[in-house]
Amino acid sequence: MNIRVFATPREWTEDDVRGTTAIVIDVLRASSTIIQALSNGAREVVPVATPAEAGELAAKAGRGDVILGGERDGKMIEGFDLGNSPLEYTKERIAGRTIVFASTNGAPALVRCKTADHVLVATFNNYGAAVAAARSLGSDVSIICSGRAGKFSLEDFVGAGKLVEGIASQGAPLAHDGAQAAFDLFRYYRSQLTELVKNSYHGKYLATLGFEADLEHCAKVDTHPIVPALIEGKIRLPKSNGGS
Amino acid sequence: MNIRVFATPREWTEDDVRGTTAIVIDVLRASSTIIQALSNGAREVVPVATPAEAGELAAKAGRGDVILGGERDGKMIEGFDLGNSPLEYTKERIAGRTIVFASTNGAPALVRCKTADHVLVATFNNYGAAVAAARSLGSDVSIICSGRAGKFSLEDFVGAGKLVEGIASQGAPLAHDGAQAAFDLFRYYRSQLTELVKNSYHGKYLATLGFEADLEHCAKVDTHPIVPALIEGKIRLPKSNGGS
């Protein structure tokens, strides 16, 4: 099983992920938020690239029938119902609902993955379950770091390295430079993931907006043993891992 | 002094490097080759993005008056005089000559840097001199990893991390995720740079083409105490560091 890690959003094309299991990681915070929403009973999360597309989808579905979630610059978008803090996605707010989701980095990455055979959402919170899912699917793996406005994010690359450690066959050499670098960097940070998330550029930015609690939440490993999967434009929990 | 590291070629735009000292790193092999050529007395190296542009420049200058160097897929380009192995750029071949240079990754990165205040060429071979030059210029620094066909290269990112270690003020925190990750990864590989270069994806590829000796050459630190600088489209040695 080949494992590749794409460090930045413009490094990969739809051809690069074709036929593989794509795993989209956006530690701060889209992956964490999508996992939290589905864990708390949301029916599905529909990722869109822009707030305008979210509005169009809401108009078609009926504005009252969907929840609009997402952010620009870390803040809730005007006219939306929820931002991009996982802690906002409580059972009371989202159980049974369809969430149309427009985050800056993770949502567009998910939208672009449509050539992959499988598209999974992962982060520290669902590490073990994501590893098990990728291994059981058996295809080559493309781990996609969502980054920040097209640029490199430390926390996503280290999170990707943790996934590499879990997915790679023990002792097998890594044939891909991005996978090797992410894995090595994860080993460097292994015992200090919370500090890593807090000291990342985006972590520090989110703290200035008052989201310190999100940073603690997003750095936790294996709190959510589920693996959201994107199928025909909708992110749901497959029946095998907690969906219905 | 802010230090940023761009991990992949499409991560940065001309706006990102504007007003900074851009340091282009292509360990395997453009940086190493340009440094070797100027060290061995080449008059100047003119980077171009494509073999066709190299041909046009040669036609204008007079084909016999320039040396065409560069590669595609690691191999010399048809009709060129030299490939991209630093060991080909001997005094006998290139002293006093103008080299029009079309490598796949490093040359286009150099061409795109034109908005930077200063553009320097660096790699392990001229590490100490490049650090001293960047520090003495005093501007913010943009370290540009040339990568491989638009994608991440392990050896360039680790080389960038070594430059970060030298240029950053001791003890000052790094404000840029790419710079932090490159620095951390360099610390991981600090004592095994030759192995790193040999085990990188491109290193292994070059070995299959018979360029093992290049790998040893390109991994050596501080063998060439010079800093090529790109000024008005031409890479030369400024008088202060060995030029004339």
pLDDT in tens, A159-185: 999 999 999 977 677 889 999 999 999
A241, two tokens: 């891992």
pLDDT of residue B26: 98
Task: Give the CATH H-level superfamily of domain A3-232.
Answer: ComB-like (3.90.1560.10)
pLDDT digits (tens, 9 = 90+) for A52-73: 999 999 999 999 999 999 999 9
Token pair recorded at residue A232: 């025909």
Question: Per CB distance under 8 Å, which residues of B are interface residues toward A?
Answer: 6-8, 10-11, 148, 150-154, 157, 175-178, 180-181, 184-185, 187-189, 199-202
Task: Tell me the mean pLDDT in the region B208-217.
Answer: 98
Taking only the tens place, the pLDDT of each residue in A88-132 is: 999 999 999 999 999 999 999 999 999 999 999 999 999 999 999
Mean predicted confidence (pLDDT) in A145-160: 97
Parse chain A into domains and list their residue ranges: 3-232
Cis peptide before A29 (omega within 30 of 0): yes
pLDDT at B239: 74
Top residue of B5, B177, B200 to mutate, by most chain A CBs within 10 Å, is: B177
Tell me what the mean pLDDT of segment A76-84 comes to. Answer: 97
For position A172, what pLDDT does the model report?
72
Residue of B6, B10, B11, B202 for testing the chain A interface, max A β-carbons within 10 Å: B11
d(CA B222, CA B116): 25
**Average pLDDT, integer, range A134-160:** 97
What pLDDT score does A169 carry?
A: 76
Q: Which residues contact A101 (CB under 8 A, 6 or more apart)?
A: A30, A33, A34, A45, A46, A47, A48, A54, A69, A70, A107
Task: Give B153's contacts in chain A (Cβ within 8 Å).
Answer: 177
For residues B37 and A222, give the distance between their C-alpha atoms in angstroms, rounded to a whole number: 53
Convert the pLDDT of each residue in B69-127 to its tens digit.
999 999 999 999 999 999 999 999 999 999 999 999 999 999 999 999 999 999 999 99
pLDDT given at position A1: 87
Mean pLDDT of B162-175: 87
Name the pairing type of β-strands B118-122 and B21-25.
parallel
Nearest to A229 by CA among A134, A140, A97, A158: A134
pLDDT of A188-207, one tens digit each?
999 999 999 999 999 999 99
Does the structure show a pLDDT above 70 at B241? no
Q: Dump pLDDT digits (tens) for B126-146.
A: 999 999 999 999 999 999 999
- Cβ distance B10 to A11 less than 8 Å, yes or no, reads yes
Beta bridge partners of B21: B118, B141
Name residue B99's amino acid: I
Q: How confident is the model at residue B12 (pLDDT cuts 50, 70, 90)?
A: very high
Work out the average pLDDT over B205-227.
Answer: 98
Q: What is the pLDDT of residue B242?
A: 54
CATH entry 3.40.190.80 includes domain B3-236: no
Confidence at residue B156, expressed as pLDDT on a 0 to 100 scale:
98
Q: Considering only residues A51 and A174, tell me which one the structure prediction assigns the higher pLDDT.
A: A51
**Cross-chain Cβ contact B157/A10 below 8 Å:** no
Provide mean pLDDT across the span A14-32: 98
Cβ–Cβ below 8 Å for B157 and A188:
no
Amino acid symbol at A24: V
CB-facing half-sphere around the CA of A222: CA atoms within 13 A = 7
Asked if ipTM goes beyond 0.90, one says yes
pLDDT at A243 over 60: no
Paired tokens of A48: 């869109």
* Cα A22 from Cα A114, distance rounded (Å): 9
pLDDT of residue A240: 60
Nearest-by-CA chain A residue for B150: A11
A236 neighbors A44 (Cβ within 8 angstroms): yes
| Average model confidence (pLDDT) across chain B | 96
Residues of A in contact with B200 (CB under 8 A): 177
A219 Cβ contact partners less than 8 Å away, ≥ 6 residues apart: A27, A124, A193, A194, A196, A197, A198
Three-state secondary structure string covering chain A: CCEEEECCHHHCCHHHHCCCEEEEECCCCHHHHHHHHHHCCCCEEEECCCHHHHHHHHHHHCHHHEEEEEEECCEECCCCCECCCHHHCCHHHHCCCEEEEECCCHHHHHHHHHHCCEEEEECHHHHHHHHHHHHHHCCCEEEEECCECCECCHHHHHHHHHHHHHHCCCCCCCCCHHHHHHHHHHHHHCCCHHHHHHHCHHHHHHHHCCCHHHHHHHHCCCCCCCCCEEECCEEECCHHHCCC
- Listed in order, strand segments (DSSP E) in chain B are 3-6, 21-25, 44-47, 66-72, 75-76, 98-102, 118-122, 141-145, 229-231, 234-236
Q: Which of A52-66, A186-200, B166-180, B208-222 is predicted least confidently?
A: B166-180
Q: What is the pLDDT of residue A17?
A: 98
Looking at residue B1, its pLDDT comes to: 87
Q: Dump the DSSP string for B94-149.
A: HTT-EEEEE-SSHHHHHHHGGGSSEEEEE-GGGHHHHHHHHHHH-S-EEEEE--BT
Q: Report phi then psi at A45, rounded to 5.
A: -120, 125
Measure the CA–CA gap between A138 and A76, rounded to whole angstroms: 38
